[in-house]
A and B are shown apart, each in its own frame.
Chain A
Amino acid sequence: MTATDTILSPQQLSAADPARRQRRTAWMLTAPALALMVLILLAPVAIAAVLSFTNYSLGNFGFDWVGVENYDKLLTRSTYAKMFTATFTYVLTVTPISVGLGLGAALLINSLTRLRDLYKTIYFLPVMATLIAMSIAWEFMLHPTIGVVNQTLAKGCGTWVETLWPWLAMHCAEGMPLWLGNRRYAIWVVCFVGIWQGFGFNMVLYLAGLTSVHRELYHAAEIDGARSGWERFRLVTWPALGPTTVFVVTISSIRSFQVFDTIEAFYPIGAGPGKSAYVMMFAIFEKGVEQNLIGIGSAITMMFLGFVLMITLIQRWLVERKVHYG
């Protein structure tokens, strides 16, 4: 239809009707999704934002506005200082290590001629498995007396291993560590389980990324004098995997912010010795649901949302800068 054509031909008139009908059906088809998006995603975020400025509790009829008091508590009280420490320790440990191990495993597996699928399958198993069940299995392995970890370590006592490894010698003398009950180790054990669970996911994404690296690039790099494997990796593989890395880092860090199952399995109350594993999801659950302090729970929720949006925005920015040379 041209703009100058003001008089519609009969043919176009009959076409206008189906167009209107199509518009109506289109809205009917999207209406349920739209309604649910508003009800389940947008409205709750808005509600959490509002409630984070109140002292609301379930069962009360009204609430008082408390201004930024909840946020002020988050930033000043020592409990929440512990929360941020635990959360950032977890995110900043699990993200780089699970991405690094994922990349390492992918590179090793990709360079093999045999058994590639076997390793891939094994490394992907933890991604599939119910995390809370596996956390309990890890708890058994780390059990101070009957756990495999300490039993294995104890075998090193009195042998040459002890002389090479002062840490082991110390524990041979003083008794093996209470991995989960020890304030020094607790958060690192939680991190370890997070890495164990997540790196296979990153590996699979990296393997997919590696298939798209052009062979010619390696030849070109060799002609340019990149002889060692490290040079080839630095000049060809790593830049070509840029987009994969941005994505993998984003998704790993967002997932790390959401850690909950492991901590609830290990520490049903209190989030670890001295609250050393008091991550944000646990705090939302404990404050908002168990203690019915919805104002503070909402404030933590908004903080969490803020962190996740920040990561996503950084990702978008990096993608737009095109971290893509391959």
Chain B
Amino acid sequence: MTREWWKHLVLILGALIVIAPFYTMVSYSFKSPGEIDRGEGGFFGRQELMVDEKCVKLRDPNRDDIAAASARFPGMDDNAIRKALASEAEADCSMRPAVYNYSQAFTQAPLLRYLANGVIVTLSIFALQVVVALPAAYALAKLRFWGREAVFGLVLFCLLIPVHAVALPLYIGLAKLGLTNTYAALVVPWTISVFGIFLMRQFFLTVPDDLIDAGRMDGMSEFAIVWRIMLPTAIPALLAFAIFSVVAHWNDYFWPRIVVTGNRDLFTPPLGLREFKGGADGSMFGPMMASATVIVTPLIVAFLLAQRRFIEGITLSGMK
């Protein structure tokens, strides 16, 4: 330990820089606009009651409100009733900054919808990737057929093509078909994962042939073999691939930015955050960081719970 102290010092300094933006994000999501502005209040802020001006303005009493409330304030003139109502509104509209920020995050923009879209899109992508890749990987690993080497060669060739290079032509194709601003546009381009095919093929090569022959003896069709024998054996590899795929597409910003324009109903979480940022003035920094926290948290929590698997999954491409 005595000889290690300088290493810890260096690593702790590095860790502080790595954590700093996470700290800022979560801390701002708790603080009032004033505290953010003046840079005070520590991590949690002082959580003093604050008044939501917009909410007060919405409840600004008009003539009818005053007339309706006159029964509750007997013997008061209109002005006094107005004042009483205004202070009531103020009391109802005051809340802790943390509550304010998070409730604004969910009400200013349909954040729940964005999160649901994120889940729908990432899960559909993963499911379709498996449906397409698994049978192909099985055929490439375990079946003998003319043209197998050529198909595998094509897979290896396609591995060279970065998805960013096909983004523009795919966008043109989808626009021609009138498919921009649909779930299909968000999902379809990712249905083919050549990396998934490659990975599963390598995995299937290690599965003993006896297992498959036993299935054939039992009269199973090749399709049944793929889904009832190969799929269960491939669970560990699929799990790693699932993490790889879900993390990439939950965080993806480039592709949704291209194919979804303006239609909020289709926004994925990163797009929602961008829109929030576009419309945010100084008073919305807290709510914006609250939505950022909400978007980042699921993956971070999952990562902290299953670190080994996540690291394995995300660095999958490095473990060839």
Whether the pair B192, A33 counts as a contact (CB closer than 8 A) is: yes
Bound CA span A200–B11, Å: 12
A62-119 contacts to B (CB < 8 Å): 101, 105, 108-109, 111-115, 117, 119
A134-149 contacts to B (CB < 8 Å): 134, 136-138, 140-141, 146, 148
Bound CA span A162–B12, Å: 25
Which of B160, B192, B222 has a CB less than 8 Å from the CB of A40? B192
A41-B161, A45-B166, A126-B18 known; A33 vs B136 contact (CB < 8 Å)? yes
Whether the pair B288, A122 counts as a contact (CB closer than 8 A) is: no
A119-B15, A128-B310, A204-B311 known; A136 vs B132 contact (CB < 8 Å)? no
Whether the pair A264, B318 counts as a contact (CB closer than 8 A) is: no
Whether the pair B258, A285 counts as a contact (CB closer than 8 A) is: yes
Per the CB 8 Å criterion, the residue count for chain A at the interface is: 87
**Cβ of A133 under 8 Å from chain B:** yes
Chain A: minimal CB distance from B237 (Å): 17
Residues of B within 8 A of A298 (CB): 168-169
Which of B222, B247, B295 has a CB less than 8 Å from the CB of A25? B222
Contact with B along A182-201 (1 / 0, CB 8 A): 00000000000000100011
**Cβ of B21 under 8 Å from chain A:** yes
Whether the pair A133, B292 counts as a contact (CB closer than 8 A) is: yes
Contact with A along B234-255 (1 / 0, CB 8 A): 0000000000000100110110
Chain B: minimal CB distance from A224 (Å): 24
B124-177 contacts to A (CB < 8 Å): 131-133, 135-136, 138-140, 143-148, 151, 154-155, 158, 160-162, 164-173, 175-176
Residues of A within 8 A of B165 (CB): 45, 48, 301, 304-305, 308
B244-295 contacts to A (CB < 8 Å): 247, 250-251, 253-254, 257-258, 269-270, 273-274, 277-278, 285, 288-289, 292, 295
**Cβ of A268 under 8 Å from chain B:** yes
Chain B: minimal CB distance from A177 (Å): 17
Bound CA span A261–B135, Å: 34
Contact with A along B297-319 (1 / 0, CB 8 A): 00110011001001100110111
Whether the pair A109, B11 counts as a contact (CB closer than 8 A) is: yes
**Cβ of B296 under 8 Å from chain A:** yes
**Cβ of A309 under 8 Å from chain B:** yes
Q: A313's closest neighbor in chain B, by CB?
A: B160
Residues of B within 8 A of A260 (CB): 253-254
Residues of A within 8 A of B41 (CB): none
Residues of A within 8 A of B143 (CB): 22-23, 25-26, 29
Whether the pair B168, A105 counts as a contact (CB closer than 8 A) is: no
**Cβ of B197 under 8 Å from chain A:** yes
A30-B140, A128-B314 known; A45 vs B169 contact (CB < 8 Å)? yes
Chain B: minimal CB distance from A121 (Å): 6
Whether the pair A254, B162 counts as a contact (CB closer than 8 A) is: yes
Q: A42's closest neighbor in chain B, by CB?
A: B158
**Cβ of A55 under 8 Å from chain B:** no
Residues of A within 8 A of B24 (CB): 137, 140-141, 148
Which of A27, A125, A136 has a CB less than 8 Å from the CB of B145? A27
Residues of B within 8 A of A268 (CB): 274, 277-278
Q: B160's closest neighbor in chain A, by CB?
A: A312
Chain A: minimal CB distance from B297 (Å): 10
The interface centre, meaning the residue of A29, A151, A196, A285 with most chain B CB atoms within 10 A of its CB, is A29
**Cβ of A220 under 8 Å from chain B:** no
Bound CA span A138–B194, Å: 34
Bound CA span A109–B289, Å: 32
**Cβ of A179 under 8 Å from chain B:** no
Residues of A within 8 A of B155 (CB): 37
Chain B: minimal CB distance from A285 (Å): 7
**Cβ of B14 under 8 Å from chain A:** yes
**Cβ of B10 under 8 Å from chain A:** yes
A58-B175, A128-B300 known; A201 vs B270 contact (CB < 8 Å)? no
Which of B162, B197, B273 has a CB less than 8 Å from the CB of A308? B162
Residues of B within 8 A of A126 (CB): 18
**Cβ of B123 under 8 Å from chain A:** no
The interface centre, meaning the residue of B140, B166, B194, B295 with most chain A CB atoms within 10 A of its CB, is B166
Whether the pair B192, A41 counts as a contact (CB closer than 8 A) is: yes
Residues of A within 8 A of B223 (CB): 25, 29
Q: B155's closest neighbor in chain A, by CB?
A: A37
Chain A: minimal CB distance from B205 (Å): 15
Chain A: minimal CB distance from B137 (Å): 8
Residues of A within 8 A of B138 (CB): 29
Whether the pair A146, B168 counts as a contact (CB closer than 8 A) is: no
Q: Which 5 A-B pairs have the closest CB atoms?
A: A44-B169, A33-B136, A36-B192, A29-B135, A137-B21
Q: Can you pick out 30 interface pairs between chain A and chain B where the beta carbons lie within 8 Å of each other?
A: A19-B144, A29-B135, A29-B226, A33-B135, A36-B192, A42-B161, A44-B173, A47-B169, A58-B176, A105-B14, A112-B8, A112-B11, A113-B1, A123-B18, A125-B19, A125-B22, A127-B314, A128-B247, A129-B251, A130-B253, A130-B270, A130-B292, A131-B251, A133-B295, A258-B162, A281-B164, A284-B167, A285-B254, A285-B257, A308-B165
A contacts, CB < 8 Å to B: 19, 22-23, 25-27, 29-30, 32-34, 36-37, 40-45, 47-48, 51, 58, 101, 105, 108-109, 111-115, 117, 119-134, 136-138, 140-141, 146, 148, 151, 196, 200-201, 204-205, 208, 247-248, 251, 254, 258, 260-261, 264-265, 268, 281, 284-285, 288-289, 294, 297-298, 301, 304-305, 308-309, 312
